[in-house]
Structure formats: structure tokens, C-alpha cells
Structure 1
Amino acid sequence: MPESAPPIVVGFDASDGAHAALRWAMDEGARSGRPVSLVFAFDWPVNTGVAGLAPAFWPDYGAQEEADEVVVATVAEARQAHPGVPLTGTVVPGAATAVLVERSRQSHLVVLGGRGAGGFAGQLIGSTSISVSTHAHCPVVVVRGREPAANAPIVAGVDGSDYALMALEFAFAAAAGRGTGLRVVRAAERSGTRGDEDRAATAELVARWRDKYPQVATSVHIDSRPPAEALVDASGGAQLVVVGSRGRGGFRGMLLGSVSQQLLYHADCPVAVVRELPAR
């Protein structure tokens, strides 16, 4: 794949979570052949001047130099571990969320750690990751939880909405790229005939993609528990959980602030939130 292909963008701030996100992104780049772009969003610090003297504030150039040094060292280390993956690193002025949402317009994925520091100072999972997941123009992967087994399945949460259909397409492609299986989970708090209808409808959705990805072993699971509980539980045996950012039916009324947010807080593996399909 050419280096001009839409990249995998990593929001980086030198925290442990950001390093985990970079490792995940480099592994994904090795699988897909896509370039990786490390972006250190740098909200420029300023020093306060002496009262009555101009300028009142001036940029802390030392802080930018430190950020530049961190990026150079991090890129060199990552290239050594993944020599076949094209990787660039840049320090970009601006708030993390705004920078990453803008970068997502031309990106295949945006990858974030579960917690941030430095350029993302004080921004835990509830702010940067949720804001980017809500507004990004491509799928967002938040790397959290344990280190999953390479042969663990992909889990997709579906409910029949357009967003869930995009999540299912993304999940099939992810499973195919990793040579692993796909568990499709539908939270449907119904039983009897209506529960059978949910199972049939979900099987029909899955069948649309089986022809394109015949190598992906797929299973369908109808879970009577609330959606977030069902998917958090399923994450325990998965290497990635994929959800759409909005839903209806089994996820009725569950916007990013509920089902997806619960996964971003509590899942035991990385979480992909899909509200738009990736740039090709």
C-alpha cells in the first residue's frame, strides 16, 4: 500500500496509555500495510511576564523543544521495533480533541490510549477519548485493558441501526485482517417469538458479509442483558470490541455517553467506535 494512503493516526502524549496505543497502531500498520502518523497535540504553554511590561505572555519554547525530542525518540524506537511500517511523527499546536478530529477527516483510523497526560494534561477517558470518538470522521480505537491473545475473536455489538451496520462491516474486515473469528452480539431484552425474530434478523445482517469474508468464522449471540453489560462481559475473551456510536432497538436511547462510554471505561480489551467508515 502506498505511503500516501490514509494513515493510522495516533494521538500521543508520552503517557503509558499513548505508548500502548502506538504499539497497537504499529501492529495494525504491519497487518494492513498502512502508514502510521504519530501526532503530539501541543497546547502551547506560556510564561507570565512582569506586570506592566510587554509582552504579558510569551511561548515556552523549552516545552516545545522537549515535545520535539520526545517525538523524535519515540519514532526512532517504534521504527526499530517495526522496521517495515512507515512512521512519521509531528508536534501540532492546538488542543488534542480539535487536532485529532481535524486529522480524522483524512485518516483510516485514530488510535488513542485509555488515559493521557502532557499534551492531553488531565484528560482522562471521559474527555479526549469520548470527544474524539463522538466527533471523528473515521473509526476511533481506544486501547485499554489487558494485552489480548492474538487468536482471540473480534466482538461486534449490533442492533440493526445504520451505525451498527457500519460497525459490523468494520468488524468483519478486522477479523479477516487478523485471521481470527467474529462474535456478533445483539442485546435483545425479549424472549419467545420476538427473541427468535431478533436472532433471525441478526443472522440476516451477518449473511450479507459472509460472502465477502468467507474465511471469517462467525457466531451470533443474542443476549438478554442490557447492551453495555453484555458487551463488557464479551470483551473479556476478545481482542477488540467494535460498536457503532449510536443505535436503536437493542441499544434504544444508548448514545455514545452510555453503551460506548461504558465500554471505554470498563472493557477488558481495546474498543473501536465507528460512526463513519474509514477513508480508503
Structure 2
Amino acid sequence: MTNLDRQRANRDAQHRVAATLTPASSYGRAVNRYLGAFGYLDRLPTQPGPTDPHPTAVVRPTVAVGVHDSPASSIAVDHAGIEAELRGADLRLILIETAIRDQSAEHERGAALLTYLVDRVHAGTVHVSASSRLLTGSPATLLLDEVRDADLVVVGSEHGRISDAAGTSVSAHIAAHHPGPVMVVRMPAWPAGTDFTTRPIVVGIDGTASDPAVAFGLDEARLRGCELILLHAADSNETGTDQVIEQAERTGVKVHRRTAHGSAITALTEASLHAAAVIIGGRGHHGLPGLLLGSVGQQLIRQAHSPVFIVR
């Protein structure tokens, strides 16, 4: 048996094992493809599927992900690919290099990294079109400009380290300034346990159904086929969540209400231990004290045990 044959046999075996790990939700299937495609280590590109000989012009949403040469970046790309697949979106990978003396060698390494990551996306997703862009300059400034038209922006953050997947403090900068949803991938232990794709989405709320974070959380839970937890402060008004629950029931999403005791950062960090993702709003009008992209938001994207969505 050749090395290529062994790789194919191993990949087929990984796909069979991964298929038994989680229920057949769209999100579960997407995650399992990544786990099966790589054994979560190797890049094993697959051949593209059949194309429509008479394609119809469709405006597709865009997921953009900032990348860097780090393990956290690969994890961010994996999550971005899954989100793009769930949304029927195109994926854009952006690498920003800082200006250095040996720019030619750095450019070669950057181009090779982008090729690897694009192949990784194609190996782990179904019908996701991935493109890449390599730029030179200030990572925070350029990335914010490059993702301004994206429907979702994904950045990575390494557990316990100052530097994140797109450069120092870039994830916090994007989360603070991008006007649309931002996903900061906080996965200190990835791949997670076999229950990961059945975990709920947690939203920190102020009890109002009009909160963009609540609406986003409901859509995300529907896309993933998971449950939704509305986490509110002990002294907040819960009546506004009745409308959310009624709306969720019409879309098949099961919703739970939970009361947070103590500080917002403590409650949200603890919730992230058992969540597929935590969602908070990017404005400071929440029932959880201090829940805004200030001290609590900054701490959460550094300390959470799951990805964090910042929604405005």
C-alpha cells in the first residue's frame, strides 16, 4: 500500500468515526467533516464537487477571516469555514504582513500559508468558495478596512497569550470597531469533546426581544440545530423574552431562560464552559452589569472557553 493509499484509507476511517460522534444536524455534519478530513492534523484536499453547467447569478453573503501563522489561525479558519457553509456564504481569508526588511521571503511564506489554509477549507467544507488576499501594513487598520463589507468577521485568539491570530490585539480591535457581527474564536482545547456540536448557544441579554444579540443568537441556533440559552441578570425584566421564546418555537429552536448571579464576566465565562458559543451585544445597555465591549467584553474574548460573538 502506497503512502497516498494509506492517507486515503485513514481519511475514510476518520470520516466513518466522525459520523458517529454527533447527531446529524447541519452544524454537526460540518464539524465532523473537519475532524474526519484532517484527523485534525493533516491537510488532505478533496476534489471539488460537480458544478452546475448553467449557474444562476446569486449574491452570496461573505464570511471574512483574519489569518496569521499560528495554530490559533487554523482553528479560526476552521470555524469560519463552518460558518460559511451554514450560511451558504463565500469565505475570504486575509493575511496582513507587517513591513520588514526581507519582504520578498515573507511574502513567499505568506502566500504558501494562504494556499495551505484555502486547501484546508476545501477539504473540510462542502461547496464553500474560498479566496485569499495578502497585504502589507498595519494588521488592525488594514483588516478592519478589508472586512467592512463582510456579513460575519472571524478572528482567532490564543488561550493565555497576548498575541492573537491576526496580530497583537487585532481581535479586540476588530470586535470593538467593526459595525457587523464579529466571531472571536476562543477554543483553548480544540477539537472539543464529542458533545461539542450538541452544546447550546448562550446569549447575555437585558430582557428585550429587540436586542440584536438575541435575534442573532436565535438565527445561529436555528442554523446549528441547537438550543438557545438566554442569560440575564437577577434584577432584569424577563417579560421581553416571552416574544423571543414564541418566535423560537415557530422556528423549531428550544429556548431556556437562566439567571446570572454575580458579575457579568464570571457568569459568561462559566457559561462558556458548556456552550458552543457565547453572544453579547456591542452596546452598553444590558441587564448584566458592565456587559459591553469595554472591560467585560475585552475580558470575555480573552478568557472564554468557547467562541464569542460580538453583535451590534
Candidates 285, 296, 305, aligned match of 1:248: 285
1:31–1:178 CA contact under 8 A, matched in 2: yes
Could you report, residue by residue, the CA deviation over 1:95-149 in whole angstroms, capped at 9, with x for unpaired residues? 221122213321011111113869845x1xxx21111100012111111134451
The corresponding residue for 1:5 is 60
The corresponding residue for 1:230 is 267
For the residues of structure 1 that align with 2:99 and 2:130, how far apart are their CA atoms? 24
For the residues of structure 2 that align with 1:27 and 1:264, how far apart are their CA atoms? 20
Kindly report which structure 2 residues correspond to 1:117-196, keeping only aligned pairs within 5 A, or say none: 120-121=166-167, 123=168, 127-145=169-187, 146=189, 147-148=191-192, 149-160=196-207, 165-188=211-234, 190=235
Candidates 115, 119, 136, aligned match of 1:72: 115
Deviation at 1:185, TM superposition (A): 0.2
For the residues of structure 1 that align with 2:203 and 2:178, how far apart are their CA atoms? 19
The corresponding residue for 1:274 is 311
The corresponding residue for 1:106 is 149
SS of corresponding position for 1:199: coil
Note closer, same or farther for the CA distance 1:179–1:264 as it changes in structure 2 (3 Å cut).
same
Deviation at 1:269, TM superposition (A): 0.6
Amino acid at match of 2:69: A
Amino acid at match of 2:127: G
For the residues of structure 2 that align with 1:29 and 1:2, how far apart are their CA atoms? 18
2:245–2:255 CA contact under 8 A, matched in 1: no
2:156–2:186 CA contact under 8 A, matched in 1: yes
Amino acid at match of 1:268: H
Deviation at 1:2, TM superposition (A): 6.3
* Match status 1:200 vs 2:239: yes
Deviation at 1:21, TM superposition (A): 0.4
Note closer, same or farther for the CA distance 1:117–1:15 as it changes in structure 2 (3 Å cut).
farther
* Match status 1:42 vs 2:97: yes
Amino acid at match of 1:7: T
TM-score, structure 1 normalization? 0.80
**Unmatched 5+ stretches in structure 1:** 48-59, 276-280
- Indicate the larger mover: 91-100 or 2-11: 2-11
For the residues of structure 2 that align with 1:240 and 1:79, how far apart are their CA atoms? 24
Deviation at 1:224, TM superposition (A): 2.4
Deviation at 1:259, TM superposition (A): 2.0
Note closer, same or farther for the CA distance 1:46–1:209 as it changes in structure 2 (3 Å cut).
farther
SS of corresponding position for 1:89: strand
Could you report, residue by residue, the CA deviation over 1:214-254 in whole angstroms, capped at 9, with x for unpaired residues? 31000111222211111111111110100002222524454
For the residues of structure 2 that align with 1:32 and 1:257, how far apart are their CA atoms? 29
Note closer, same or farther for the CA distance 1:249–1:9 as it changes in structure 2 (3 Å cut).
closer
Deviation at 1:161, TM superposition (A): 7.1
Which of 1 and 2 has higher RCO (CA within 8 Å, sep 6+)?
Answer: 1
TM-score, structure 2 normalization? 0.72
Amino acid at match of 2:138: A
1:40–1:119 CA contact under 8 A, matched in 2: no
For the residues of structure 2 that align with 1:64 and 1:118, how far apart are their CA atoms? 20
1:111–1:141 CA contact under 8 A, matched in 2: yes
1:236–1:268 CA contact under 8 A, matched in 2: yes
Note closer, same or farther for the CA distance 1:249–1:151 as it changes in structure 2 (3 Å cut).
closer
Note closer, same or farther for the CA distance 1:207–1:150 as it changes in structure 2 (3 Å cut).
closer
- Indicate the larger mover: 138-147 or 127-136: 138-147
The corresponding residue for 1:51 is none
Q: Which consecutive aligned stretches of 4+ in structure 1 deviate over 6 angstroms post-superposition?
A: 116-119
Amino acid at match of 1:151: T
Q: CA RMSD for the aligned pairs?
A: 2.5
For the residues of structure 1 that align with 2:112 and 2:224, how far apart are their CA atoms? 34
Number of aligned residue pairs? 249
1:153–1:240 CA contact under 8 A, matched in 2: yes
